[in-house]
Every structure is written in structure tokens, then in C-alpha cells.
Amino acid sequence: MTQQTAPAVVEMTGISVEFPPVRALDGVDFRLRPGEIHALMGENGAGKSTLIKALTGIHSPTAGTILVDGVERRFTGPADARAHGVSTVYQEVNLCENLTVAENIMLGAEPRLLGGLHWPAMRRQAASHLERMGLSIDPSSSLGSHSLAVQQLVAICRATVSDCKVLILDEPTSSLDTDEVAHLFTVMRALRDDGVAILFVSHFLDQIYEVSDRMTVLRNGALVGEYATADLPAAELVQHMIGRSMEVLEAAEEVVEHAERPAAATPLLQVVGLGRKGSVQPFDLDLYEGEVVGLAGLLGSGRTELARLLTGADRADVGQTRVSGQTTRLRTPRAAMGHGIAYTSEDRKGEGVVDGLTVRENIVLALQARRGWMRPLPRKQVDELVASYIQQLGIRPADPEALLRNLSGGNQQKVLLARWLATAPQLLVLDEPTRGIDVGAKAEIQKLVADLAAEGMSVVFISAELEEVLRISHRIAVMRDRRKVAEIDGGRATMDQVVDLIAGGGTA
Amino acid sequence: MTKLLRHHLFWPVAALVVLLVANTVARPSFLAITVRDGHLFGAPIDILRTTAPLLLVALGMTLVIATRGIDLSVGAVVAVSGAVALSHLASSPNPDSPVTVLTAVGLALALCLVLGVWNGFLVSVLGIQPIIATLILMTAGRGVAMLITGGMITTVNSGPFKTLGSGFWLGLPVAAVIAFGVFAVVAFVVRRTALGMLLEATGINPAASRLSGVRSKTLTWTVYTASGLFAGLAGLLISADTMAADANNAGLFIELDAILAVVIGGTALSGGKFNLSGTLVGALVIATLERTVTVLGISPLVTPLFMALVVIVVTLLQSPRMRERLASATRRPTPPSEPQPAARPDSTEVKAR
């Protein structure tokens, strides 16, 4: 390691955290110095979140010591941590949308006047905090009126209000576009130059390389090592993270084979002029067996809305749906399931996982719901089914009785996939199945999608990551402003071509 | 030891044992059961009998709470049930005939079923918050009961009907046999079929359940209907015990006792995972507590206060935070902290789609 200028502001030694029977962290050391941006790297379930939560007092370590500014600390919770200069900004914005920007920024540090709140001072101080970060946001506007990106920046601004020595940013960029990320990085660098120690978690490797000075890599709850970013090439980093070579990733690169489909084939699902007021303009789409159709478009372009109409999650008010040539109406998800159509929502937490139930229960949920409550699946069959999916998809921990809320995001996503695969669908609509999960799991899911299509399943694949859509789709439907604007051959499409279509320049 | 402490039934069972011990100390013959005229007699048998109606109401309440709901109307439904049955008996020329009694029982249960369907309709179809939806019937129900009885306390004599409340079967109180029997059947059905899991999924994440093809609306509707039916049955047991239909006081506050039984039994009001065996113990704790008040000779003036204190202690011991503290006090190193409070809307909030 190179010479260390400043003593560490956070020094964690031998940290272990257990959720019996799972050992989430096993004797991990971690050091954070003032004036550095330190990336915490690892796959889903590697223990990144657990380490952060151990630091901020949400989890209490079963072993190890935590020194903050040389003093041993066990924070009782995020508020206590914050009072000692350790602030956290989470992936999901934890602010009050119904309050103003100023109120959100100053919450907990409100200027007082005669026992009440000093409103003018609050606005003034909030404005100066915003200005310091180079943000031009009206402090008296309501937070809910801003985009998620702005809310994220406000959350960071809020974290720097109290005397902040350590700023933890857990996946702050997952919902931001390129310009917003650039702005965030400017803010981060300014804070770093002020001497703040920043702990940064992101799944985007290019971002890590762009902004971080140093990184700590975790794998399966154990420390792999600490590196200076400049000394560690990306390929090596990925190897450290997944503990295996890039083969899996490369395998996923070449998944698509462009076999010509028979000209006379009937589409599995054919929709004509399907639409819904205020949601998505009428569109046509044919889906064939053995084919992956990618949906590309910006957030809010109607990708999700289209998927929801295809799968009965929302009811269409115009248009026709034909399943294998038969005209039907998919009024509910249940009706769609009856036709072998499965849909996983982009909102994993809100519309996907049932976090208080076990892995086993989550996997059999859709299958059991289809059979009805009176015909329970025999326990033996359930156990075999669940064991086979845990093994096939590599769900960890490999414990059918683990509560789903104790699984990492990527593993929760795999459980959701298992839930739908168990129903043996003909058409699988995946809305952002790889969002917020790590490289390894992402590659596994892409590979799985390709394999499923090769076995004859029809797949609709939605992702904000264009590369991913290009890589695995046979055909790509492009969405813009709640309309389907083009449909292109996935094999011949180039990135630039799709970007043009999304931006409104090109023609189909 | 820790494992035992962490068992979900530990604290409710401990509370029950403590109450029984306290009673036995105050009155050594408390647990004695004697045989008189071929029937079992004694305080424990009495407790079983008085538990019966509460157990039935709490059974329905547990299922409703599992779906994130609550049913405040059960007390009123108890009153309606008694009013219907006794009014029918009173107006019949031959209240002792089994046919009349069966008709009375059938009428009462049918009406209560309809009331349950009404609640379910408000909650699952119209999407009204359960606490508001059932509040409607909580107040209106007593009015209905009043209309049926004409504002009088209807009293009748009917041998077969009285058997429901105070008769014996194979030496055991009929009321207890009915309530525990129904409870056992329902518990068996819920856990041996997929009903329990689907109810829990609905309670934990209604949106995800819907997308997974769970008929959440139908399930929700069904549990309110069941709750109405069980409350109706409880109303029959109560009115058969007193042989009087009192529209104002029959089943008064039984909804609160039932909610309490559910909570003491370890089912969270936020819905999801539920625990019928816990509810059973919870109902027994409440019935034993009422008995304890008389055995210990506690003045009626302080009775509510005494009961409140016991309830506070038991529910505190049942709370996840307290259990965690106790468990960590008995074991080092510290167990994992609670999972983060999942962002979940208020327990009584049900969104209409």
C-alpha cells in the first residue's frame, strides 16, 4: 500500500455479523480516510450493505471493533451515527415528498426561534447549502415535484448539513441519467476536497473508475482486499468480485443466434391497437415462440406500461389481444397466467417479493395461486421444485426456509424468476430484471433468458441498459413518449441506431 | 433455553400458567375437576366454556388481521345473532321443538353470513379502509338488533336452544365443544390447504400477490364473511347461555377482547404471518384473567385497571423489541437486530385499485 497521509477516520477491524444461520460478514477489515472517495465493491450478497449497516448501527456486529476518529463506537442507529458525523444516503430516497426541499434539508437541524421554527432562516440556510453544492433548486418548492435525481441530490445535501466527516452513498446513481451522474460526481469531488471521506457503492464499474480513489472488495461476506483504483484493472476487479474468470460474462455475450423463424408461424401473442388512456398509445406487437423481444426506451417512455397491458396487470381500454390466434381479453394477471403469460414487475420490492414469507413460499406462490387454495401442492413436490430452482439459479443462501427479506436484491430477483418459471409460462415478460444487481447475477440472468428462448419460450425483456437489450434481443421495439415508434432486428441493430430512435432522430 | 424463550407461544403460555398458579395459590381447589351427574365441573371447565364465544370471534379476527384488515363489527354481529334466534323462538308457538330451534339457528347464522358479506364487499370491492368499513356495521348492527327485538330484552325458554349455552356433551360443555371443534377444523383447513399461505401473501404484499395470480379480493371477502359467520355462532352461544337477547349489551367489547387475544397470541396487527395456536392461548388467557379477578376477590372498582396491567405486561413481552432484548440478555453475543422496518403502509390501509 502507498504511504498513508491522514489517519483513518473510520477503522473497522474484524467485523462479523450473523443472521443465524447465515454469517453475513466474517472478520472484515475496512479503513476509510478523510478526503478520499472509497468504493465498496462486491456482488449482491457479498456483504456491502451489511458492512454499511454495521457501521451505522443498524446491525450490531457479533465481533470486531469500530473506531471513528480514533474512538471506539457502537452507534445505536443512523441518527446516532449522523450525530457523530457519519451520514448515509440510501438507494431509495428516504425523504418526505410532501415537505419542501428546505424542510427536508434542515430536518433534524431546524433553526429555532422562540420555541418555534425559524422559517426564513430555514429557507436561507437550505439555500446556502444547496448553493454550496452548486444546485439551483428552489428551497420552498415541494420535494415531490422534483425528479428522483434531484431528490437524490437533495438527500446528499441534507447529509452534509450536520458536520459531516463520513458520507456513505449507497447506489446513488442507479436511477440517474448521465448528466445527473456527472453533476453528482462534481459534488462528490468537491466534498472530498473539503476533507469528507466518501464511501461509495455502485454497480457501474465505469463510474467507480471515474470517481473513486481507492476500493475495498468483498466476496461472500469476507474481505478480498483493498486497492488503489489506479492500480487495479477492471478485469482483475471483476475477478476479485466474482471469484471466477470472465467466462460467464463472455458466454452471455454470444447468446443470440439468429435463426430464421418459419414464415407461416402464428404468433404466440398478437396484439393489435392495444392501448390505455394516459398510459400508452395504441400499439401492435407480435411475439413468437423462441424469441426474445427487447423493449428499449427512456424511463417513462411507456416500456413498463406496455408490458403491463400485455400481461393483464393493467386493463387495456382499446385494442385486441390474440393468444395463439384466439381472441381473448386479459383482464387480470390471473387471466394472463391462464394463457401461460408471466410478468415480473420492475418494482421488485413493491410488486414482486413477499418479504415476510420464505424462499419456498415465494417460489411456489404463483403456481399455488393458479391451482387455487383447495389444491395444495404436495409438500414433497414443493421441496423438490424449490430445491431444483435454488440449485439451478444459484439462489443464496440455499435455504428454502430463509425469509425473503434476508436475501440480497439479486437473489430476490432470482427467486422471482423461479416463481414464474415454476408456472412453466409460454411468454415471460421481464421488466428490468437486472436492475440493481451485480455483474455476475446479471450475466446469469441474461444467459438464462437466452436459454429459455432457445428452449422455445417467448420472452419480452425490458431494461434501461441499452447494451443489455441489444445483446440478448432478437427483435427490439423502441418506445418514445408513450408510443411504440419502431421495431428493428436485434441482430443488425447498432447502439447508435437505437439511441437515435429513442432520441427521436431516426426512422424505422 | 433461548430457543424456548424465542418460541412464539412462550410468553402467552407463560402468562396463562402464571394466572393459573395465582388462582391456585388463592384457592387451592381451583384446578380441581369433579364429576357431577356425569358432567365435569370445576373452574377450568368453566373457563373453557366462557372462552368459547371469544375463541370463535378471535378465530375470525385472526384471519381478517392476516389480510391487513380488522373487523370491529363482531360485537354487533353477536347481538344481531342472539336477537334473531331468540326473537324467532319467542314468536314460535313451540320453542322446544328441534325444528324451531334449528330454524332459529339457521336464520341467525344466515343473517350474520350476510353481514360478513357486506363487510367484505365494502373492504374488498369498494376498497374502504377496514377500520371504517366495519365501524359502519359496529354501530348500525346494534340498531338492527334493536329493531329485531323491538327495543326489549327478549327472554324465552327453549330446552334444546339452552343446551347450546349451558348443556354438556360427553361430560364437556357443549359451547366449548362447538367452539374448539370449529376452531380445530378451521385451523386444519387453513394450514393443510394453501389458504394460510395465500392469506399471508395477501396481507404482506397485496400488489405482488395480485400479480402472482392470487385472488386477493376473493380471499379478503371470504375472511370477512367467515368472521361474520363465526361471530354469529358466538352470538348463539352467548344468547343460549343467558337465554336473553340484549341488543345493547350482548357481545359488548368482544371485538376488543378478540383483537387482544390475537395480539397476545403473537399475530401482528400489520398483517401477514398469523398464528392460530397463539390466538387460542390468547383467548384462554383473557378468559382466565376474567376468572382470576373474581377468585382473587379484586374489587370491581379496580378490575379494569388490573386487567389492563396484565394485558400491558403480556403484550410488552410479546413485542419483537422486548423479545430481542430478553433474548440478548440471556445470550451473548447479541442476536441480529430486527430486520429493517419494511416500508409498509399503515396496517389498516387498504388501497383500492
**B contact residues 227-286, partner A, Cβ 8 Å cutoff:** 272-273
- The answer to whether A368 faces chain B, any CB pair under 8 Å, is yes
- The answer to whether B189 faces chain A, any CB pair under 8 Å, is no
Q: How far is B254 from chain A (nearest CA, A)?
A: 29
Task: Specify if B189 maps to a domain.
Answer: yes
**SS3 of residue B102 by DSSP:** helix
As a residue count, chain B comes to 353
Say which CATH number the domain at B12 has. Answer: 1.10.3470
Task: Specify if B350 maps to a domain.
Answer: no
Task: Specify if B305 maps to a domain.
Answer: yes
Q: Over chain B, what is the mean pLDDT?
A: 88
Domain count, chain B: 1
- The answer to whether A62 faces chain B, any CB pair under 8 Å, is yes
Per-residue pLDDT of chain B (353 residues; tens, 9 = 90+): 567 777 888 888 998 999 999 999 999 988 888 888 888 888 999 999 999 999 999 999 999 999 999 999 999 999 999 999 999 999 989 888 999 999 999 999 999 999 999 999 999 999 999 999 999 999 999 999 999 999 888 888 888 999 998 889 988 999 999 999 999 999 999 999 999 999 999 999 999 999 999 999 999 999 999 999 999 999 999 999 999 888 889 999 999 999 999 998 989 888 899 999 999 999 999 999 988 988 888 888 888 888 788 878 877 887 777 777 776 776 554 444 444 444 444 433 333 33
**For B300-306, which contacts have Cβ atoms below 8 Å and span 24 or more sequence positions?**
none
Fold classification of A10-244 (topology level): Rossmann fold (3.40.50)
Which member of B210, B272, B337 has the closest CB to residue A333?
B210
Specify which residues A216 forms β-bridges with. Answer: A40, A226
- The answer to whether A343 faces chain B, any CB pair under 8 Å, is yes
Q: What are the φ/ψ torsions at residue A427 (nearest 5 degrees)?
A: -125, 125
Quote the pLDDT of residue A503. 72
CB contact under 8 A, B339 and A405: yes
Residue A275 identity (one-letter amino acid): G
Euclidean distance between CA atoms B313 and A458, whole angstroms: 57
- The answer to whether B8 faces chain A, any CB pair under 8 Å, is no
**A contact residues 308-327, partner B, Cβ 8 Å cutoff:** 313
Q: How far is A416 from chain B (nearest CA, A)?
A: 10
DSSP character string of A30-70: EEE-TT-EEEEE--TTSSHHHHHHHHHTSS--SEEEEEETT
Q: Name the residue of chain A whose CA is nearest to B195's CA.
A: A373
Count CB pairs under 8 A between chains A and B: 98
The pTM (predicted TM-score) of the whole model is 0.75
Task: Specify if B346 maps to a domain.
Answer: no
Per-residue pLDDT reduced to its tens digit, B136-170:
999 999 999 999 999 888 888 888 999 998 889 98
Q: Which domain, by its residues, includes B217?
A: 2-330
Please, which pLDDT band fits residue A300 given cuts at 50, 70 and 90? low
- Distances from the Cα of A79 to the Cα of A58, A76, A85, B46, angstroms: 10, 8, 10, 52
- The answer to whether B192 faces chain A, any CB pair under 8 Å, is yes
ipTM score here?
Answer: 0.83
Domain formed by A246-340+426-508, architecture: 3-Layer(aba) Sandwich (3.40)
Q: How far is B53 from chain A (nearest CA, A)?
A: 28
DSSP character string of A72-102: E---SSHHHHHHTTEEEE-SS--S-TTSBHH
Tell me the domain boundaries of chain A.
10-244, 246-340+426-508, 348-424
Distance from CA of residue B41 to its chain's centroid?
24
Q: Name the residue of chain B whose CA is nearest to A379's CA.
A: B192
Please, which pLDDT band fits residue A90 given cuts at 50, 70 and 90? confident
Specify which residues A65 forms β-bridges with. Answer: A13
